[in-house]
Structure formats: C-alpha cells, structure tokens
Amino acid sequence: MNLHVPALTQEAAPVRTTCPYCGVGCGVLARPDGQGGASVAGDPQHPANFGRLCSKGSALGETLSLDDRVLHPEIAGRRATWDEALDAVTDGFRRTIAAHGPDSVAFYLSGQLLTEDYYVANKLAKGFIGTPHVDTNSRLCMSSSVAAHRRAFGSDTVPGCYEDLDEADLLVLVGSNTAWCHPILFRRMLDARAKRGTKIVAIDPRRTQTGEEADLFLGLKPGTDTTLFSGLLVHLADTGALDPRYIAAHTAGFEPALERARQIAPTIAATAAATGLTEAEVETFFTLFRATPRVVTATSQGVNQSAQGTDKANAIINCHLATGRIGKAGMGPFSLTGQPNAMGGREVGGLANMLAAHMHFTPEEVDLVRRFWNAPNIITGEGMKAVALFEAIERGKIKALWVMGTNPAVSMPRADRVRAALAKLDTYVVSEVVVNTDTVRARNAVLLPALAWGEKDGTVTNSERRISRQRAFLKAPGEARADWWIMAQIGKRLGHAKAFAWGNAAAVFREHAALSEFENRGSRDFDLGGLADITDAAYDAAAPVQWPLTRKAKAPQTRFFADGGFYTRDRKARFVAVQKPALAQATSDALPLRLNTGRVRDHWHTLTRTGKSPRLSAHRAVPFVEIHPDDAAAAGLTDGDLARVRTAHGAAVLEVMVTPGAQPGVLFAPMHWSESNTSDGRVGALAQGAVDPVSGQPELKATPASIAPEPYRSRGYLITRETVAAPFGWWWARASLEGATGLIFAAQDGAPEAATLMRDLFPGATFSEYADPARGRYRAAAFRDGQLLGVLALAPAAERLTWDAAKAFFRNQELLEPSARRALISGRAESAGSGPLVCACHTVGLDTIRAAIKGGAHGVEAVGAVCRAGTNCGSCIPEIRKLLAAELAPASA
C-alpha cells in the first residue's frame, strides 16, 4: 500500500481534529502511527460526540492510504508543474472571460471544503473574476432548509443546538434516517429516551432502521410531509394549543398560513386520506405534538431533496412558531446537515443565491462586501444554482468550470447528462484528492492535487453552528496543496496579489471573521467578531466554539429566537402559506413506481473515502434496490436477484433487497456507487431532479421508475491482491477487503470461461481449481511461490454465493495451511464463520450475534457484553434488536 511519509513519531500526542463525514461534526483524536497512517478515536472533550464515533468515523484510519491519490498537477493527463498548471487555469479563465464575459466562468464547490477554502473561492469568483455562478454540492443537500430559514427567520439561522436533543420530550424525525446517517446524534436521542422517556416519532415513506427504533413510525406517502404538518397546524389551532402571545409579539402572517393549511388538510381524516396514514396514526402524532412542549423536529434529506422541500421545511417551522417552541431548551426545528462543512459554506456565502457572510444582494450589502474586499468586479445578483448551472454548461453558456472536492458526474440528478455536458467546456479544472472519480475521468482536465483530511488545516462548522478545527496530522503527500492556497495563486496570477496574500489558513479565517463583523451591529445573525483578531497560536489551539461570537460577547450564544429577534426588517418571523403538495412528476403505466435515493450506514457520498475501508465496505458491498414484497412478486423478483431499474433519465442494474420496510410502489436505491466502483450502478443518472422553485434544490427521492429482472447465468466473486479490471460484459461492483480488493459480479460465463479468465489474470501461477461445469460451478485460487494471489468463484445466479469465508484468507500474507487451501476452494469456512457484517466498529457478524442470543444474551446490552456488537457507535443496535426479536420470538405453531 502507498502510504504517507511519516510526519510524526508514534509517541506523539494525538491531534485533535474533526470528522470529515456528516454534519454532526464529531471531534476526533488522531494518533499518527509513525508508518504514514494513524489510529483514530473519538474526542471525549468534543461537545458533539463526547468521545463517541460512528462506524464511518471509527474507520477513518483505514482511509488514509495514498492509493488512488492525485499527487501532482496534470494537464490533459500529462504530468505538469504547479506553474504550468496554474498558468493553464489562469490562461483558460482569461480567454474565456475575454471571449464570453466573466459570467461564463463557474465554480462548483463542496461541503467537504474547509471554511477557509470556501471563503477564498467565494471571494475570487464573486469579487475578482466577477461571476455569480458559484454553487456547491450543498445545493443537493440542505439548500431547501436554508431557503426555509430565510423565509421564516430572515436569515439562515439554525435556532437550536444538540443539547436540545438531550432535553426534548418528543423528537420528531422527518425524512431522516438518523440512525444510519447521523448515528452519534441518534445515540444522544436514545440516551434521552433512556434518561427522560423521550418519545421518538419517525416520519418517512421508508421504514428505515430509524423507523424500526421509533416509538411511532408514520409511513406516509412520498411528498406528503407538507400535508401532515399543515394538518398539524390546523389541529394545534383547533385544539387551543397555540401560543398566541408569541405569535402576536414575534411573528407575522399566521392567518394566511393557517388558512392555506386548512385548504390542504382541514381535518385529521383529510390528513390521513392524503398522506396514506390511518386516522389513528395521525391523531396519535398530533396529540403527542400538542401535549409535549419540549419537541424538536429534526429534518434531513427526505425534507430537503424535494421539489417542494422549502415548503416542507416551512410547514414544520410554522408549527414551531405557532406554539412558540423555538430557541428554548429541548424545542425547535432542527436541520441535520449532511456534510462536514455545509454550514461553513453557508456562512461564507458559497452558494449561488448568497453573496457572502450571510449577506445577499441588497445594494447596501453588495456595497459593503465590495468595500471590504476592495473588489474590482463585485457581482450584484444571484448566480445559477447547481442544476441550472450544469444545464447552462450543456447549452454552452458556461465555458469554464472549476470543480473542487466533489463528484457531480455521479451525484447530480441526470448524472449521465451532466457528465456528457462537461465535454462542452473550454476550460475544465478539477481540484481533487482521488485520481479516478467519474468527474476526473469525464474528460481532459487541469487536475490539481488537493490536500485530504488529515493533511489540511482549517475550520468546519457543524449542524449546531459549532466551529471546530480540522488539523493536519500527516505530511502533505507529493505536490498536494491546500485548496485556499491554490485559489490564491490564481487570484495573484489574475493580477490581484494584494487581495490574495494570506500566509496561512489562520489569516484567511481572520479575514472571514472580520467580514462577518464588518458593519454588522446586530443586523446579521452570523458574527464572528470575537475571533477576528485571533492569533495564529490561538487559532492553532482553538477549541470548538458556537457562533455567533461577537467582539463584545462574554460567551457564545447557544440558541436563537426564544424572544423573537428575527433577522427581518421588522424583527418578526414569517409564517409561510405553503403550496398544496404535488410531486414533480406523475407515475405512468411504463414507469409505475417511484425511486427514492439515499445513503447506507457505512458509506459516504461516492465512496472515494469509505470505499477504501474494508470494514465499511462489508455492510453493503454492492449497489442495491429495496422493494416491497408485493412489488417484487409483481415484477417476478426475489431477494438477491439483479434487476434493471429505469427512469426517463437513465438505468441501473442493482441487487434486489426485498423488504417489508419499503412502501408498496416505492423503490429505494443508495446513491454511493459510481463508474469507478460498479459497472452499472450510477443511481444519480436515474434521478429526475426537478428543482424546488425557491431553493433550487433538486428532487432526488421520487422519480417515476420501473423495475424488471436482469437475468445473468452466473454470480460470483473475484478477490485479488492487486486491482484487476473487470472483464467486459460483467455486471460488477468493487469493494475494498483486508489485504485485497474484490469484485462481486454477475456474468453469462460458466466454468470453462472462468478457468480461461483465471489463466489470463494470473499467467504463470499455480492453481487450486474446483470445477463442476455441468452445474455451472467453479472456484479457483491462484498462487505464486505458495502466496495467494487471487480467488475466483462462480455459481449459478440463484445460488447466492457469498465471499465472507473466502475474503478472510487475504487478511495476511502468510502461506496457507492445507486446511485453509481446502476451505478457500470448498467455499466453506475453515472454522465457523461469523456471518454477514452487522457491527462495523467491532467487526461482528450476524452468526456471532445469533449465537450470543442463543447463548443467553437476551438484550442489546447483554449481546454487547458477549460479543461487543453495538457497543461503540450503536448504529447497528436496531439490527441487533431485530435479531433479538426474531430469535426470542416463541416458535410459531
């Protein structure tokens, strides 16, 4: 494996940093191992996680290798010097601007960037190049929440904090698989339930692990959240549960909003009919909400990734405003962000509909920012949001694009079209860490090597407005550089040396903080005045801190709006009269189902990081589609089959997972897989992506779709020490394994073709080879000097071959004992295996947990005591609970 140059000795103290995954923003202690890697543990002092880490965070140490890294600049696939690469970018931009104007240049940024990087990108584009077209993958993530906040509060303000989750009596989770996607917050919620009896309600078309764990699960029809919360507002009004004093003192627009809500959902019966829930379910939820003052409504992508996302969020906020349940302990609407620094991007203003530092485009704001930056080319209005931006590339309106730290060729809706559109650009610049993403490979680019987590240095902001440091604990590999540094070089080359002259990340941060304070005087929520003069040393040592933190503040403010003080001109919040919900596209005979997309527990985005971890790749190793048993039966599909899912925009071949947790008529497929790790699983290509009219966020969760069997003769796996290309014609997905890389595949091949392939793959090797051609079975291992090089196994598709036993033989380089050689070929474990992975943190399999339960462990804690499963991040606890229920159920007659 290709490793970092050791930066520190093994005895060095752990470095406090922040996890690069979701928006929970957990503190991490990274201890370099002296070998170029690091061991990772939760930071007990960080107020987001108090020492806990989820499966993904726990496995960060497995993601640090330099395999697949971009280590030097490239121009159109040729290695280049930094000077050549920076000149190429500068010249490209200059030519494009000269020919087509500054607004033919666009930036597509990422919630993975640090705040300092984001700040420099925003300044370069909006103040100096003069293009408003700066958008980010956060557009796909939480821009509807931003828009809803601004409509309701006059600012993009998250009113609460994580302590509210500890102190609530009711937690309403809307469109959020918190158990898998924000596991550490979910542990806090479960702790609250254990401590104070907090009730958890999960609202989701899909019965996720969160739904399994909830006290009340409401499996509503896709896109009907607005109806449910409109019905709730009506119910609160009709049962005298409003807070008239708060409404009168601190809000405006209540009556029209209530009237609209009545039109949408006048009664419990109407609400039930429209949402597909029973009246009893609706009434139970409404009663709970009405009777529980301490209620937090937490929302994620089920709310945001919708063509009506902003209305959904406002329908929820309406209920909190109407009851005055906002900004107080244990109360409030709470957007759980998906990315480590989506919030930082919002603070900087790195979105097309913001200018900078929570400022927009009033003439005063534009002037303020222009003066602060001394900007020659300040923009005066909004730019194009992600979907429109890539459409503009397709139309030839945008001629130069700089993509930083994100993979739009995978993650954008209609991703195939987006990828194809990139060919039309005159200048294509990609700042990246990973060399083989679909976005890098889409076409010739100026490829700039960026620093990765563990190497870069700066700040991120989590969902509760807490700014934490990401610190370097590894040496910068090769010629990789910080994103802010790269952009500053371009700023200088474009003739703005003075404006891009920072010496370090701290200097960038000070300017960012200073802008937030500049002529603020309480007019803007985002104010870091207290940090504007921070010294380099203090910045290096900075503990996590929440904003706002004004120059005069003695302590940071933790909550907003308990006593009004909204950031509208009249300081009052706005109720929003929402639109009656309707999904963007109707189903049809040809496309009778709806495709929902999302994440899995142990993976993140497009697998460029988690895909390196064998542990994280074990939970779900192939792209799959969840389907209700009735729909599966109708389509002639059974669990484990391969199926082709089609929409009007694309198709993917996915492994079928039949589950009653899926709603009839609704498919679910994870969005993680890309062309670099599967043949046919680019789910982003299927999403329709109709945008929310307010936020511009695309709909990713309700695309009309069809599903049909995709028959293959054989299924199998190929595990190799060295990465090998999959043969043409295979369906395949690649996963990292300990000491190896693996392909799970489907093919029309039988045993003879497999035998030929093995000889092609491993010329000169010796083979242990099992063949049963008549039954289409083949297993072979290749050796050189007794060292295991690779294993191929193939069986008829219906046999559902698994590789759990085989992959264990690659863990180390020792020569295999005869019994191990036999086990490798027999497909049987040498000794009893532990079964499919359940607990990723402690690597505990299904069979082990079942055995523990049979052995007398009759509760989650007892199971944990026996085999450690579920004792770290807890995100597998719902699965353990299910196993407990199944194992301990009285035998049916």
Partner 1 sequence: MTERLVVIGNGMASLRFLERLTEAAPGRFDVTCVGAEPVAAYNRVLLSSLLGGEVDEAACTFRGLDWYAEHGITLVTGAPATAIDTAERIVRVGEGLVLPYDKLVLAVGSVPIRLPKPGMDLPGVITFRDLADVAAIRRAAVTGAKAIVIGGGLLGLEAAVGLARLGVETTLLHVMDRLMERQLDHAAAALVREAMEARGVRVMLQADTAAVEGDGKVERLILANGTILPADLVVMSVGVRPSTALAASAGLAVGRGIRVDDTMATSVPGIYALGECAEHRGQTYGLVEPAYEQAEVLARHLCGVEAAYAGTSLATSLKVSGLPVFSAGAVDVPEGAEAVTWSDPASGLYRKLVIDGDRLIGAVFVGDVAEQGWCKTLIRTGDTLGPDDRDDLMFGRPVSPEIPAPQPLAA
Residue 95 in the binding site for partner 1 (CB under 8 A): no
Tell me which stretch binds partner 1 (CB under 8 A): 161-169, 325-333, 432-440, 828-836: 828-836
In angstroms, what is the minimal distance from the CB of 333 to partner 1? 39
Q: Which of 447, 310, 449, 311 is nearest to 385 (CA)?
A: 310
Nearer of residues 78 and 784 to partner 1, judged by Cβ: 784
Is residue 27 helix, strand or coil?
A: strand
Strand order in the sheet with 170-174: 216-218, 199-203, 170-174, 295-299, 332-335
Residue 825 in the binding site for partner 1 (CB under 8 A): yes
Who contacts 44 (Cβ-Cβ below 8 Å, separation ≥6)?
50, 51
- Candidates 99, 538, 541, 865: give the one binding partner 1 (CB under 8 A): 865
Give me the helix-helix angle, 877-888 and 846-854, nearest 10°: 50
Q: Please give the structure tokens belonging to residue 309.
A: 């996302």
- Candidates 176, 407, 647, 871: give the one binding partner 1 (CB under 8 A): 871
Tell me which stretch binds partner 1 (CB under 8 A): 221-229, 290-298, 329-337, 818-826: 818-826
In angstroms, what is the minimal distance from the CB of 789 to partner 1? 12
Residue 101 in the binding site for partner 1 (CB under 8 A): no
Nearer of residues 78 and 828 to partner 1, judged by Cβ: 828
Residue 852 in the binding site for partner 1 (CB under 8 A): yes
Q: Which of 21, 28, 26, 114 is nearest to 458 (CA)?
A: 114
Is residue 214 exposed (0-12), middle (13-18) or buried (19+ Cβ within 10 Å)? buried
Is residue 47 helix, strand or coil?
A: coil
In angstroms, what is the minimal distance from the CB of 780 to partner 1? 9
In angstroms, what is the minimal distance from the CB of 697 to partner 1? 43
Q: Please give the structure tokens belonging to residue 594.
A: 């709806």
Residue 787 in the binding site for partner 1 (CB under 8 A): no
Is residue 802 helix, strand or coil?
A: coil
In angstroms, what is the minimal distance from the CB of 786 to partner 1? 7
Residue 814 in the binding site for partner 1 (CB under 8 A): no
Distance, in Å, from the CA atom of 691 to the CA atom of 140, rounded to the nearest integer, reads 10
CA-to-CA separations, 720 to 140, 160, 220, 242, 742, in angstroms, rounded: 36, 49, 45, 64, 6
Distance, in Å, from the CA atom of 328 to the CA atom of 349, rounded to the nearest integer, reads 27
Q: Please give the structure tokens belonging to residue 815.
A: 């020569």
Nearer of residues 288 and 851 to partner 1, judged by Cβ: 851
Contact 54, 23 (CB under 8 A): no
- Candidates 783, 836, 882, 887: give the one binding partner 1 (CB under 8 A): 783
Residue 866 in the binding site for partner 1 (CB under 8 A): yes
Q: Which of 850, 783, 585 is nearest to 699 (CA)?
A: 585
Residue 831 in the binding site for partner 1 (CB under 8 A): yes
Residue 802 in the binding site for partner 1 (CB under 8 A): no
Between vectors from CA 500 to CA 494 and to CA 502, what angle results, nearest 5°?
150
Nearer of residues 79 and 828 to partner 1, judged by Cβ: 828
Q: Please give the structure tokens belonging to residue 535.
A: 């010294």
For the chain, what percentages of helix, strand and coil (3-state, to nearest 5) are there?
A: 35, 20, 45
Residue 820 in the binding site for partner 1 (CB under 8 A): no
Nearer of residues 3 and 866 to partner 1, judged by Cβ: 866
Exposure on the CB side of residue 75, measured as CA atoms within 13 A: 14
Nearer of residues 574 and 777 to partner 1, judged by Cβ: 777
Nearer of residues 425 and 793 to partner 1, judged by Cβ: 793
Q: Which amino acid is at 336?
A: L
Residue 828 in the binding site for partner 1 (CB under 8 A): yes
Residue 56 in the binding site for partner 1 (CB under 8 A): no
Contact 573, 148 (CB under 8 A): no
Tell me which stretch binds partner 1 (CB under 8 A): 277-285, 350-358, 468-476, 829-837: 829-837
In angstroms, what is the minimal distance from the CB of 839 to partner 1? 13
Which DSSP symbol is given to 127? I
Nearer of residues 665 and 833 to partner 1, judged by Cβ: 833
In angstroms, what is the minimal distance from the CB of 788 to partner 1? 12
Residue 805 in the binding site for partner 1 (CB under 8 A): no
Would you give the distance in Å from CA 242 to the centre of its chain? 36
Is residue 640 exposed (0-12), middle (13-18) or buried (19+ Cβ within 10 Å)? middle
Residue 79 in the binding site for partner 1 (CB under 8 A): no
886 C-beta neighbours (distance < 10 Å), count? 10
Nearer of residues 465 and 850 to partner 1, judged by Cβ: 850
Tell me which stretch binds partner 1 (CB under 8 A): 159-167, 477-485, 571-579, 863-871: 863-871
Residue 855 in the binding site for partner 1 (CB under 8 A): yes
- Candidates 867, 880, 883, 884: give the one binding partner 1 (CB under 8 A): 867
In angstroms, what is the minimal distance from the CB of 658 to partner 1? 24
Tell me which stretch binds partner 1 (CB under 8 A): 44-52, 264-272, 355-363, 867-875: 867-875
In angstroms, what is the minimal distance from the CB of 854 to partner 1? 6
Which positions from 742 to 781 touch partner 1 by CB under 8 A, shown as an x/- string? ------------------------xxxxxxxxxx------
Number of residues in contact with partner 1 under rule CB under 8 A: 34
Question: Which phi and psi (to 5°) does residue 322 adopt?
Answer: -70, -25
Question: Which phi and psi (to 5°) does residue 451 adopt?
Answer: -75, 150
Pairing of strands 624-627, 651-658: parallel
In angstroms, what is the minimal distance from the CB of 637 to partner 1? 24
Residues paired with 811 in a beta bridge: none
Residue 815 in the binding site for partner 1 (CB under 8 A): no
Nearer of residues 654 and 841 to partner 1, judged by Cβ: 841
Q: Which residue has tokens 């039966």? A: 633
Residue 854 in the binding site for partner 1 (CB under 8 A): yes
Contact 130, 103 (CB under 8 A): yes
- Candidates 822, 843, 881, 887: give the one binding partner 1 (CB under 8 A): 822
Q: Please give the structure tokens belonging to residue 153.
A: 């509060």
In angstroms, what is the minimal distance from the CB of 883 to partner 1? 15
Q: Please give the structure tokens belonging to residue 190.
A: 């479960």
Which DSSP symbol is given to 69? B
In angstroms, what is the minimal distance from the CB of 761 to partner 1? 17
Contact 239, 290 (CB under 8 A): yes
Nearer of residues 512 and 777 to partner 1, judged by Cβ: 777
Tell me which stretch binds partner 1 (CB under 8 A): 5-13, 438-446, 665-673, 824-832: 824-832
Residue 868 in the binding site for partner 1 (CB under 8 A): yes
Residue 89 in the binding site for partner 1 (CB under 8 A): no
Between vectors from CA 538 to CA 458 and to CA 160, what angle results, nearest 5°?
65
In angstroms, what is the minimal distance from the CB of 571 to partner 1? 54
Q: Which residues bind partner 1 (CB under 8 A)?
A: 766-775, 783, 786, 818, 821-822, 825-828, 831-833, 847-848, 851-852, 854-855, 864-868, 871
